[in-house]
Amino acid sequence: MVASEVRALFAVASRPEVVSLAGGMPNVSALPLDQVGDIVRRVATEQGATALQYGSAQGDPDLRERICEVMALEGIEAAADDVIVTVGSQQALDLVTRVFVDPGDVVLAEAPTYVTAINTFAAFQADIRHVAMDGLGVVPEALEEHLEALAAEGRRAKFFYTVPNFQNPAGVTLTAERRRRVLDICHRHGLLVLEDNPYGLLRYEGEAERALRADAPDNVIYLGSFSKTLSPGFRIGWALAPSAVRAKLVLAAESAMLSHSTFNQMVVGRYLAEHPWREQIKEFNEMYRERRDAMLAALEALMPAGASWTRPEGGFFVWLTLPEGLDSKAMLPRAVSERVAYVPGTGFFADDEGHRNMRLSFCYPAPAEIREGVRRLVGVIENEMSL
């Protein structure tokens, strides 16, 4: 296990004078805090005998029913019995890896990919192989090539990990046509898909894509989370899995933590029952759209020739490629001394790729700060280019 570069950065990036385009913290200030507080109080006073007791490792049945309603927005038909609540979707990543991966087993993952997924796979000593991505999501031919090469070696991958919507860190979304092809390839090779979808409902333009799980219920483990659509502080995510897999995940969860926070689950369940959460997500989306637009406009106006970046339709992140010859990791200390922070691209690869890349997040700073952050970043880049 090694410390993630993102975590190490948090201390520096949270200094008030630094504009942090680094962290992926959702902006919870838009939540109706009085109403959340009222629900917390009522769960304690009206349901305390249950809410303050141990619960099951699979999670509260009422909350699992609500989770099925949330997933229906992306075309998923699911039974609450096939859902397991987890401590954020991060715990689901851990449990799935724990259940499937023995040291040396191959895991396929997009390149770049979510840093803490890499760290989880690495903690279980997976052999992580990266599958190329472009602006339309993972490249199906690249996936097929990996599977054929593995078959030629007499090996199989345990699963293919993908973040199909507004990917962290690349910001790109897998197109409908590619979704079909990826599912077809995985079906033909008997490969399980691990679909991680914390950002799917945070869409600022365009039409929602169907979840991979919606069209391949037997072949996909789907991970969801309330961290971005409600709050990460409750630490409530979930996995939806074929029943045999789900049963193993529940056993793994029992040994990891015995029971969930019953209290947090009941608060979130009641929030979903009483609060117009779909409207709340629309409000979040308006706020994030403004921030995304501020970042894209600033990049467009200020970035020097030779730099390029993705244009996400939702989520939190833009993936920037620096002009040739620049190294985002080496440049970071200079950027921080100019009071702007980002995450160097190398953290999002298991194989030290990504030196010319960086992840910029627009979720937390206000639009004016984002513009100022980009202005400072451009100053640093231009200075590097002139050296």
Shortest distance (Å) from residue 384 CB to ligand PMP = 28
Phi-psi region of 258 (alpha: psi -120 to 50; beta: other; left: phi over 0): left
Q: What is the per-residue burial (b if ≥16 Cβ within 10 Å, else e) of 348-385?
A: bbbeeebbbbbbbbbbbbebebbbbbbebbbebbeebb
Minimum distance from residue 156 beta carbon to ligand PMP (Å): 24
* Helices marked H in 2-107: 5-13, 33-51, 61-72, 88-100
Nearer to ligand PMP, 226 or 378 (CB): 226
Which residues fall within 8 angstroms of residue 178, CB to CB, at 6 or more apart? 136, 137, 138, 140
The least distance separating ligand PMP from the CB of residue 137, rounded to whole angstroms, comes to 14
Closest separation in Å from C-beta 239 to ligand PMP: 11
Is 55 or 164 the residue whose CB approaches ligand PMP more closely? Answer: 164
User: What is the closest distance, in whole angstroms, from the C-beta atom of residue 313 to ligand PMP in the complex?
Assistant: 16
Helix H or strand E encompassing 275: none
3-state secondary structure of 354: coil
Q: How many CA atoms lie within 13 A of 177 on its CB side?
A: 2
Residues that bind ligand PMP (CB under 6 A): 24, 88-90, 114, 163, 168, 196, 198, 225, 227, 232, 237
Q: Report, in Å, the least distance between residue 227 CB and ligand PMP.
A: 3
Q: Tokens 């700060």 identify what position?
A: 369
Residue, CB closest to ligand PMP:
88
User: Residue 109 and residue 349: Cα distance in Å, rounded?
Assistant: 9
322 Cβ neighbours under 8 A, 6+ residues apart: 306, 307, 328, 331, 356, 357, 358, 381
Peptide bond into 112 cis (omega under 30): yes
- For the bound state, the minimum distance from the C-beta of residue 358 to ligand PMP, rounded and expressed in Å, comes to 16
